[in-house]
Amino acid sequence: MSKVTVMDHPLIQHKIGIMRRVETGSKDFRTLVSEVAMLECYEATRDLELQDVEIETPICKTTVKELKGKKLAVVPILRAGLGMVDGMLEMIPAAKVGHIGLYRDPETAEPVEYYCKLPADCAKREVFVVDPMLATGGSAVDAIRMIKEKGVTHIHFMCIIAAPEGVKRLQEAHPDVDIIVGALDEHLNEHKYIVPGLGDAGDRIFGTK
Ligand code: PRP
Ligand code: URA
């Protein structure tokens, strides 16, 4: 079964608290999504491999650690996942970026696919799928299936708020994918929105409602 990490860092909890407030406007919301993504990236990249390198400081020769250089990619699920890309790239600037377009059918809450463009060499890359919300889990499960169909074998999923229902569905569908969660909420409501949640993440990032 995949590992689920719920971030307990005070900075993340504080920022998510501001995001949840109904009065937080799009400009601040966007900034916070990006900042939380950057902080979560720190945890998501914990297991990246290092190698020893000989260097010279102003004082003497020594051995330091540097990233072994495995190629990385960030794949946001459109639209709301776009808000997490800049924060990720602040930490891993050499990563390539792919895009997966999915929206939830308003009647069924099931994902509908409309776009998929991944880096040509994505099968060789370690992929970080980002989306602020993991509700029923349908979008994340489908996005990861689409990425696996392109030959990718090493995938992490990162979100800001998750419902227990979504975590369970994602773990069952993709037990090999680690999940990094900013906050684990209580449940889904009758419209499949996360409670207490923060509303519609895409609308809040882009100011579309
Ligand atoms: C939201 C969110 C996720 C999805 C989560 O996107 O960004 O992609 O819902 O719900 P699920 O876990 O039940 O699939 P939405 O479909 O509202 O599209 P948008 O980002 O374009 O607004
Ligand atoms: N998508 C969102 O943006 N918010 C939710 O609570 C559920 C799905």
pLDDT (0 to 100) of residue 43:
95
Pairing of strands 72-78, 126-130: parallel
Give distance in angstroms: CA of 68 to centre of ligand 1: 34
Q: What are the mean pLDDT values of the chain's consecutive 10-residue runs (209 residues total)?
A: 94 98 98 98 96 98 94 97 98 97 92 96 97 98 97 97 98 98 98 97 95
Binding residues for uracil: 194, 199-201
Cβ(144)–Cβ(130) below 8 Å: no
Q: Is the CB of 135 under 6 A from ligand 2?
A: yes
* Whether the predicted model's global pTM rises above the 0.85 cut: yes
Atom of ligand 2 nearest to the CA of 204: 3
Pairing of strands 194-195, 187-188: antiparallel
Give distance in angstroms: CA of 197 to centre of ligand 2: 8
Q: Is the CB of 197 under 6 A from ligand 2?
A: yes
pLDDT digits (tens, 9 = 90+) for 6-29: 999 999 999 999 999 999 999 999
Contacts of residue 119, Cβ cutoff 8 Å, sequence gap at least 6: 73, 96, 97, 98, 125
Which residue's alpha carbon is at the smallest distance from atom 4 of ligand 2?
200
pLDDT (0 to 100) of residue 44:
96
pLDDT (0 to 100) of residue 122:
97
pLDDT (0 to 100) of residue 209:
84
Three-class SS of residue 98?
A: coil
Sorted by where each starts, the structural domains of the chain and their CATH numbers stand as 4-206 (3.40.50.2020)
Closest Cα to residue 156, out of 92, 65, 64?
A: 92
pLDDT digits (tens, 9 = 90+) for 80-117: 999 999 999 999 999 999 999 999 998 999 999 999 99
Q: Is the CB of 160 under 6 A from ligand 2?
A: no
pLDDT (0 to 100) of residue 69:
84
Question: What lines the ligand 1 site, CB under 6 Å?
Answer: 77-80, 103-104, 109, 111, 131-140, 166, 192, 200-202
